[in-house]
Amino acid sequence: DLAAAFTASGYNLTELYRSICRTEAYQRSSQETDSQQSEPGLFAKMAIKPMSGEQFYDSLTQAIRRGNPAEPQKLTRNEDPTRRRFLDTFGQQGDQNNPDTSVLQALTLMNGSLIGQATHAEAGEFIQALCEKPSGSNFDSLYLATLSRLPTDEEKKKLDVYVSETTEPEYGQRLGDVLWMLLNSAEFRWNH
């Protein structure tokens, strides 16, 4: 059916992508709700897979609002030193289905300058913008920017407790901590 529709559309790739994205198989959640969903050949749930280094870098920079999203990055890998260092660290290593991870990758995510600047209250543009209007919806903004979903009620309760235990000057740092946690989560790193 897909091949026939692709041919009928005059080999329009946009229509092909739109058709694929509208299928139930493509829109499956990665959440396992039944033990019978563990068989990959049944396409009963989405297979979790790692993002490539390029995908991960682009997702990260979009989530932390680095650069202007309206203007695509015109620099090549070798011209942007931050991107080059990141891709050298997170480039594909080993089998794509069972990627190798390293201590260097973990340390880059936990302590690297890119994430460090983004999560620092005074340096991170995203955190600064959220601090201008403190509200409970800031959690929604952080989750939507990183995980493309809203926080669950349980997550919101934990975040409310964490952020409410602070004074106003520390509010930005607490939001930065939440952003750091989200950027270091497996849900952000892997394609769910």
Asked if 99 contacts 90 with a C-beta cutoff of 8 angstroms, the reply is no
Asked if 82 contacts 64 with a C-beta cutoff of 8 angstroms, the reply is no
- Indicate whether 74 pLDDT > 60: no
Predicted local distance difference test score (pLDDT) of residue 182: 93
Q: pTM of this prediction?
A: 0.70
Tens of pLDDT along 98-117? 556 778 888 888 888 888 88
- Indicate whether 40 pLDDT > 80: no
- Could you give the count of Cα atoms lying within 13 Å of 27 in the half-sphere of its Cβ? 8
Predicted local distance difference test score (pLDDT) of residue 98: 58
As a whole number of angstroms, the distance between CA 135 and CA 171 comes to 11
Confidence of residue 136 (pLDDT cuts 50, 70, 90): low
Asked if 131 contacts 175 with a C-beta cutoff of 8 angstroms, the reply is yes
Q: What residues does 50 pair with on adjacent strands?
A: 190
Query: Within its chain, how far is the Cα of 8 from the centroid?
Result: 35
As a whole number of angstroms, the distance between CA 145 and CA 158 comes to 19
- Indicate whether 8 pLDDT > 60: yes
